[in-house]
A and B are shown apart, each in its own frame.
Chain A
Amino acid sequence: MTSILWRAGLRFLIRNPWQLGLAVLGIALGVAVVVAIDAARTSADRAFTLSTQAVVGKATHRIIGGPRGLEESLFTRLKISAAIRQAAPVLEDHVSLADHPGETMQLLGIDPFSELSFRALRSAGEDTASAAGLVKFFTQPASVLINRASGTRLGIHLGDHLDINLGTAAHRLRVVGWLAEIGDLDQGSYDDLLVTDIATAQELFGMVGRLSHIGLILAGPRTEAVLARIQRLLPPGAAVISARTRDQSVARMTRAFQANLLALGLLAVMVGGFVVFNTMRFLVVQQRDLVGTLRTLGVRRGEVFGWILAEATLLGSAGTVLGLALGLGMSDALVKLMTRTINDVYYVLAVRQFSLASATVLKGIALGMGTTLIAAALPAYEATAMLPRLSLARSHLETRSRRKVAIAGWVGVSIAAFGALSLGIPSGGLVTAFTALFAIVFGSALLTPVLMVGIIHGVGRLLSPSVGMLLRMALRSVTAALSRTAVAVAALMLAIATTVGMGLMISDFRLSVSDWLANLLGADLYVFVPGPTSRAPASALRPELVQGIRSAPGVASVSTTRRILIEDPGEITELVAYELSSQSRAGFRFQRGDPERIWRVFDREDVVLVSEAYAYRHGLSLGDSIRLRTDRGQRNFTLAGVYYHYGSDQGLVAMSRPIFDRYWRDTGVSSVGVYTAPGVDQERLKARIKTLSGPSQMVAVKSNRALFVSSLRIFDRTFIITEVIRMLAGCVAFVGVFSALMAMQLERAHERGVLRACGVTPRQIGKLIILETAFMGLIAGIIALPVGMIIAVVLEMVVIPRSFGWVMTVHIVPSILLQGLLIGVLAAAFAALYPAWKTTRGTVTDLRRHE
């Protein structure tokens, strides 16, 4: 390619700075969304791996118990009777820091002497100080080690006090030394870790004589034999599992969340890709005259193709670099949102380190460069494949566009039909659901131009002859310039449909959760121990407090829950034991099972209820048997009913308290629902319960209204990330459509000049431009509404059930539809402002010269 050709292309871009800037921005936003989501996911994964590493250390296996952990004596028996040398007792839980709201740390109680093979913990610093720190650690109660990075972040110095909230009480610890980073663990493993002596941990957790788990290092040919020996020593309810089980369980927990996040990201990318395609196509289409002239002068097809691709590479590179920078900037905020969702919905996690994998950068580059080059290659091929004479004829371009619009319509119908049919595949999983969704959305986008032509013809026929020429021109110019308008309107439609679809889905989800909460929260007051996060396992209320509430004046009846987690290889099951008053039972809504029969057997037989999500995940039917690890060993329970519960996408198993007490030695109560007698002042009762809990108790007493509001707030929080992605998709599309519509108007300056010369006033021209683009926006909006509703239906009736097991009812929310229409019209009209301003300010000569 000659240097002069290069110059011609570059100058074209430089002469259209708006288009150049917006094209680069469009590509950048698409790349940024992918990079930000990917970097946030990588950071969360890495944070989890680090926190697991810190707890598990070099252990190959762990012995776990029931909700109350293991008897400490088991450790002694292992050491003495089974001669297991490499075993280490551990007590762990999450604590919140009193002086640092929102900060959660993992408190790890260890036996320093058993730990040597597992974690090689040591105190860092100057030799003397280090040694002194370790001495204090061994000798002084309530002393902890923390890593220096966390200390610096929290402003903690050696010797400082650290106040923590743990379960029902506040405690004060003293930082006596820094934890050193050990070479065999990854950097950052000790972030958010507090290490204390196991005796201190037992006192803090109120678990004297008990352990969370025992770590084991088993290797070599005799592992199986040793495992068998250990199994014989285990009490009922205890199990030995692989140390990696927790990773796998957690990976399973968040798989659907991650998949949905990825899919939503991909939807944003699809919108972004369409926009990049639109931008690049527009750039090429605008240069067709140039292409034609160059071909006439003897520039080869391949040279022109190479020149367009070089231009695309330039734009793609600029957009990708900017997108990577933007994405990394955004990922910090996204990491915070994602961490909060994980904490709200799944498990306790603190992400301190930002992890940027090279794969993330590569994905960003592949998307930015790949989409841009593909987007440019198609129109470039189209422009160069035809005879030079045809490149010079705009009429030929528009004729071809009209033909292609019709073909695209048929292809769109076929792709959308394929998507719709795929939804009916009974064994189809999440991937099939998303493929079908993408096919429907993409097919609709292809169908948009032909629908647009149909709408405009229809409107044109309906218009009475008295309607002004300007309005007719505005209408006709949309179909007359299909080479420019078709993809732009399709891209805008796609963006609006995505926004409407996701908006309807979130709204329906919220409505379902709100209905469910309103039914569920029948009690007047709720008493519980707030965990460090909403998903951290709740500690038990003190038995005296529960008893005090039961007998408090004004209390008509109570319901209680006990929530425990049962860890098994590859799965963590959430079990809730209910002691239900008759009012509470009324709050349960069953998807399957006869309520009358269920409540008849609930307290008496070994039956369980499961949430809709749990039933879906495990493919359960009524009457099936569910095997649970109890304190009396593995036991089977019969499934009596499936009920609606939106509290956990992992699902949960529920049983009656009497049955729970039969199989678990756990007398704790996680929360109490209080039904007050008629006429009782709830505020006074609340104050009385607070008094009963005592000053050292961290007990929350909330009215059902307050709990309803705070639960919905958590729900809204978990959807912020979806909203952000929705917004980003909207932004990407807006930038692209803005760019295309504005460029389209700017390139018609000559036509405006002719109109001005014919006596059309600048004001009328301004109106014409805005009318034309607003009309395109309106058409995009009108087509987007049914497509958005289809997206919502597919999300709610296929994707969400297949991801989480929840089935929801689709409601049409007029405000969301109206919002979609407005976005279309306003985005388009906004794009017309600058060209309208520019056109009305230029002289007729200026405008005609623009030719």
Chain B
Amino acid sequence: MHTAPKPPFIELRDLTKTYHEGGSERVVLQGVNATFPAGQFLAVTGRSGSGKSTLLNLISGIDLPTAGGVRFDEIWLHALDDTQRTLFRRRYIGFVFQFYNLIPTLTVEENLLLPLELNGITGHKAQTKAMAFLERLGLDGRGSSFPDRLSGGEQQRVAIARALIHDPAVILADEPTGNLDLETGRSVLNLLQETVREAAKTLIMVTHSQEMVAVADRVYRLEQGLLTASASAS
């Protein structure tokens, strides 16, 4: 039976990421150390190009660090092989991208069904859950539409639904409102925050939104490759 996993304690230890560009090296993260308590809303701020997205990529395991590692409770991500990392991500992580990254060849409903199917939830149960999410996100009636027929705000709401629908323990959101107008952005963020808090998930969000910073449990700032806890809002 599919039960929602308990949010893990996350540790970043000496996390380093270097990119090779042409003949030169660019250090994006240089030995980041941090611990993220379970079930909290964590905001990561920083200037463009400071490595915020890289940090999320490393936490989710879709990229590997040059040195150091990410620990989820007792599991060091870098110690897992690709398949294990993928299965871990499938089960424990929901990802919300700035550019939505919905599957263009699947309908809205199918985009939501995909993570469920990957986690072995199919049939009537999956469909009921997808319909419920659509309704909750104000997308009822758009289930059979393809993503390119939706507005940016609608697409991001679908992306949030897709990230949450399989009950992951950790939600990673990479500037989820970066592409939306103020009003839509605000409603999307509220929706994300409420949903995550309601389900007691860990939310790590890269954001420039001061509103989000204000409601986050912890705020971190990424600067010159180092992560520092800058404030605790609530």
Contact = CB atoms under 8 A, between A and B. Distances in A.
A387 interface: yes
Interface residues of A, number: 31
B90 A297 contact: yes
Contact of A849 (B60, B118, B148): B148
B48 interface: no
A744 to B, nearest CB: 18
A301 B105 CA distance: 20
Interface string A280-322: 0000000001101111111111100000000000000000000
SS class of chain A's interface: helix, strand, loop or mixed?
Answer: helix
A296 to B, nearest CB: 5
Please indicate which of the listed interface residues A4, A7, A15 has the most CB atoms of chain B within 10 Å of its own CB.
A4
A294 B86 CA distance: 10
B119 to A, nearest CB: 8
A4 B101 contact: no
Nearest to A385: B82
A763 interface: no
A8 interface: yes
A4 B148 CA distance: 18
A298 B87 contact: yes
A295 B103 contact: no
A299 B103 CA distance: 13
A298 B170 CA distance: 14
B103 A296 contact: no
B113 A4 contact: yes
B105 A12 contact: yes
Contact of A8 (B62, B87, B103, B118): B103
B63 A298 contact: no
A463 to B, nearest CB: 24
A718 B114 CA distance: 60
A297 B95 contact: yes
B110 interface: yes
Contacts of B90: 297-299
A7 B110 contact: yes
Contact of B64 (A12, A289, A299, A387): A387
B157 interface: no
A386 to B, nearest CB: 10
B106 interface: yes
B62 A294 contact: no
SS class of chain B's interface: helix, strand, loop or mixed?
Answer: helix
Interface in B105-145: 105-106, 110, 113-115, 117-118
Contact of B86 (A9, A292, A295, A850): A295
B62 A2 contact: no
B24 to A, nearest CB: 14
Interface in A300-354: 300-302
Interface string B81-94: 01100110111010
A177 interface: no
B50 interface: no
A293 B62 contact: no
B57 interface: yes
Interface in A258-298: 289-290, 292-298
Contacts of A12: 105
Interface string A631-649: 0000000000000000000
Contacts of A302: 83
A427 interface: no
B115 A295 contact: no
Contact of A301 (B86, B101, B148): B86
Contacts of B118: 2, 297-299
B57 A300 contact: no
A488 B63 CA distance: 31
Interface string B176-194: 0000000000000000000
A379 interface: no
Contacts, number: 77
Given A12-B105, A15-B105, A387-B62, A296 B89 contact: yes
Nearest to B110: A4
A810 B220 CA distance: 75
A299 to B, nearest CB: 6
A290 B87 CA distance: 18
Contact of A2 (B60, B86, B91, B114): B114
Nearest to A5: B114
A727 B82 CA distance: 47
B117 A300 contact: no
A158 to B, nearest CB: 68
A298 B91 CA distance: 8
B153 to A, nearest CB: 16
B62 A295 contact: yes
Interface string B24-67: 00000000000000000000000000000000010010111000
Nearest to B58: A389
B83 A7 contact: no
Contacts of B82: 301
A388 interface: yes
B105 to A, nearest CB: 4
Nearest to A9: B105
Interface in A1-20: 2-5, 7-12, 15
A290 B103 contact: yes
Nearest to B105: A11
A11 B106 contact: yes
A413 B103 CA distance: 41
A427 to B, nearest CB: 49
Please indicate which of the listed interface residues B101, B102, B103 has the most CB atoms of chain A within 10 Å of its own CB.
B103
Nearest to A290: B103
Contacts of A299: 86, 90, 118
Contacts of B102: 293
A2 B63 contact: no
A455 to B, nearest CB: 23
A4 B57 contact: no
Contacts of A11: 105-106
Given A7-B106, A7-B110, A302-B83, A388 B91 contact: no
B18 to A, nearest CB: 14
Interface string A694-722: 00000000000000000000000000000
A8 B86 contact: no
A831 B63 CA distance: 38
B115 A297 contact: yes
Contacts of A4: 106, 110, 113-114, 117
A392 B91 CA distance: 21
Contacts of B64: 387
A435 to B, nearest CB: 39
B115 A298 contact: yes
Nearest to B113: A4
A289 B101 CA distance: 8
B63 A387 contact: yes
Given A297-B95, A297-B115, A300-B87, A388 B106 contact: no
Contacts of A300: 83, 86-87
20 contacts: A2-B117, A3-B117, A4-B114, A7-B106, A7-B110, A12-B105, A296-B89, A296-B95, A297-B115, A297-B118, A298-B90, A298-B91, A298-B93, A300-B83, A301-B82, A387-B62, A387-B63, A388-B63, A389-B62, A849-B148
Given A299-B90, A387-B63, 9 more contacts: A4-B114, A15-B105, A294-B103, A296-B60, A297-B114, A298-B90, A299-B118, A300-B86, A390-B63
Interface of B: 57, 60, 62-64, 82-83, 86-87, 89-91, 93, 95, 101-106, 110, 113-115, 117-118, 148, 162
- 8 tightest CB-CB pairs across the interface, nearest first? A298-B90, A11-B105, A388-B62, A389-B63, A2-B117, A293-B101, A389-B62, A298-B89
